[in-house]
A and B are shown apart, each in its own frame.
Chain A
Amino acid sequence: MTRSRGRLLGLLWPPVVFGAAFLVIWETAVNVFDFQPYFLPAPSAILDAFRSNTELIWEATKVSGLNALIGLVLGTAIGVGMAFLLARFRLADDLMSPLAVALNAVPIFVLVAVFNNMYPVTSEVPRRLMATLVVYFIVLINVARGLREVGSVYLDLMRSYAASDVTVLRKVRVPHAVPYLFIALKIAAPASVITAFVSEYFGGLQNGLGSRIVSNIALSNNAEAWAYVLGACLLGLAFFLTAAALERVATPGGVGARERDGA
């Protein structure tokens, strides 16, 4: 117990020290070089702005966070479902895989502009749709891989046990895909938050973190804009940490399979 706590401390202090040093240098630089607030506000000014706007930031965070969460849940559900179809049917795989790869190469954020056209201006649907789409592809590609890329020794073994396809799916493919799902979630969770912000840049209601950042910059409230950026960072971090915590709970032994392979 004390040993693992010691190790945790050993893991924690380098980034903490680095982060603190970074903030000190930033603060000092702003003071020494006398940067104007419109160029770069000092960390202390950002923190002040964050404190005095906490309630507004929280309201905006709830809006963007809900959009991201809905996208994350829907995208994961559809992605996992589709991955099962791809793993089961060759034809579906042949049809979908090139499409998924092609779409992945396109900056699909821009689709939100099209979605905005399809719904009323006050609708949150386009943003949620966008987050769903981004999450969907990340989950689909990873989970399909986890279901498919099972070592031949395991398939031989299951064949020697006269196991049916359904049994192989239940006992081998699904458990094998679980770590892949969490790899996908650790990427998709922050990505859904980013997508929710960026989607706000393309119009619609001005109620989320993304649109607040833009409007504060437009009003030259730079410290406030940075305070909203800080809020956005915290939201992204919260999503990532939740995904990482779920991974720890869901994987026996407490670590993802990939991390273990690398260790």
Chain B
Amino acid sequence: MSEGATDGRANAVEVRGLAKVFNAGRADAVEALLDIDLIIAPGEFVSLIGPSGCGKSTQLRLIANLTEPTRGEVLVNGKPARRARLDQDYGMAFQQAGLFEWRSVAKNVELPLELKGWDRAGRRRRAFEMLELVKLREFAEHFPWQLSGGMQQRVAIARALAAHPPLLLMDEPFGALDEMTREHMQTELLRICRETSTTVVFVTHSIPEAVFLSTRVVVMSPRPGRITDVVDVELGPRRGVDTREKEAFFAKVTEVREALRGIQPAGIEPDIEQVVEEHP
């Protein structure tokens, strides 16, 4: 396991003794996460994998400070998670593209910049750069409903990266896409992250996806979620169609599958990731 940055830069993510209990202190309390320690260095691509209900999405939401931990500490770029969120140190993408349907594609990409107070011309220029990056430049003036699911997800990635955050948090962003689009998007994501040198934390429950994308795969157990294994994936920085057919790729897929097999499935209880906290 990587012990963090050695070149003096702060770790991208530092999680120490993290625990999350939903409805704490009540009869229906649910322990979602327990004793999570995780250090992610800048430039890494780390996937969180585990059966549904293992709290991997909760962990991502804690890193993003979308929810507060019950115990423990989360640092992003060396700052407390809340500070990092207020400074917009990360970009985020979800399983739903979550595009605003009353905004054109370009206007959707501009939104985070708009909220940061960028001027119109600067926003416009950056939005087109980002759309260039995800190869959707010619769709800038289209509206989201005119795009396919994969294209919408690419717009969402462009939006997440628009402000050039050093960290990208992704919660099953390709979960709703078909296999072909999914593989294409994975290759594209690696290219984009290489070109922008972005650190990524990626939640998935697809083993090949985790192996193909990651430098490290973090394997988690079901409720209460704990890290049971960490698999380093040394497939090199340049991965493409051939990578998926290599012996080393299959070996890693097997390794992750075996790490997951040691884990009891979550059973038929309701999925913890479905526990939605009330927004005040």
Could you tell me which A residues sit within 8 Å of B by CB distance? 151-157, 159-163, 167, 171-172, 175-176, 178, 251-253, 257, 260
Given A160-B66, A175-B102: A153 and B112 interface contact (C-beta under 8 Å): no
From A157, A162, A167, A178, B98 is in contact (CB under 8 Å) with A157
Could you tell me which B residues sit within 8 Å of A by CB distance? 61, 64, 66, 85-88, 90-92, 94, 96, 98, 100-104, 111-112, 114-115, 143, 145, 276, 279
Given A151-B96, A152-B276: A162 and B101 interface contact (C-beta under 8 Å): no
* Sample of 24 A–B contacts (CB below 8 Å): A151-B96, A153-B96, A153-B98, A156-B61, A156-B66, A156-B92, A157-B98, A159-B66, A160-B85, A160-B90, A161-B112, A162-B85, A162-B86, A162-B87, A162-B115, A171-B111, A171-B114, A171-B115, A175-B102, A176-B102, A251-B102, A252-B103, A252-B104, A252-B143
Q: Is the interface of A mostly helix, strand, loop or mixed?
A: helix
A151 contacts B100, CB within 8 Å? no
B159 nearest in chain A by CB position: A157
A257 CA to B103 CA in the complex, in Å?
12
Which chain A positions have C-beta within 8 A of B98?
Answer: 151, 153-154, 156-157
Q: Is the interface of B mostly helix, strand, loop or mixed?
A: loop
Which chain B positions have C-beta within 8 A of A157?
Answer: 92, 94, 98
A107 CA to B267 CA in the complex, in Å?
51
From A151, A161, A162, A178, B102 is in contact (CB under 8 Å) with A178
B101 contacts A260, CB within 8 Å? yes
Given A160-B66, A260-B101: A253 and B143 interface contact (C-beta under 8 Å): yes
Given A156-B66, A178-B102: A162 and B92 interface contact (C-beta under 8 Å): no
A69 CA to B111 CA in the complex, in Å?
38
Q: Taking each of B88, B101, B279, which has the highest tally of chain A beta carbons within 10 Å of its own beta carbon?
A: B101
Which chain A positions have C-beta within 8 A of B114?
Answer: 171
A175 CA to B96 CA in the complex, in Å?
19
A158 nearest in chain B by CB position: B115
Q: Taking each of A157, A159, A178, which has the highest tally of chain B beta carbons within 10 Å of its own beta carbon?
A: A157
Given A161-B88, A161-B115, A167-B115: A155 and B279 interface contact (C-beta under 8 Å): yes
A21 CA to B61 CA in the complex, in Å?
62
Q: Taking each of B64, B90, B145, which has the highest tally of chain A beta carbons within 10 Å of its own beta carbon?
A: B145
Q: How far is the CB of B74 from chain A (nearest CB, A)?
A: 14
B145 contacts A260, CB within 8 Å? yes
A156 nearest in chain B by CB position: B66
A162 CA to B88 CA in the complex, in Å?
7
A159 contacts B100, CB within 8 Å? no
A151 CA to B64 CA in the complex, in Å?
18
A164 nearest in chain B by CB position: B115
Given A153-B98, A252-B102: A159 and B276 interface contact (C-beta under 8 Å): no
A257 contacts B66, CB within 8 Å? no
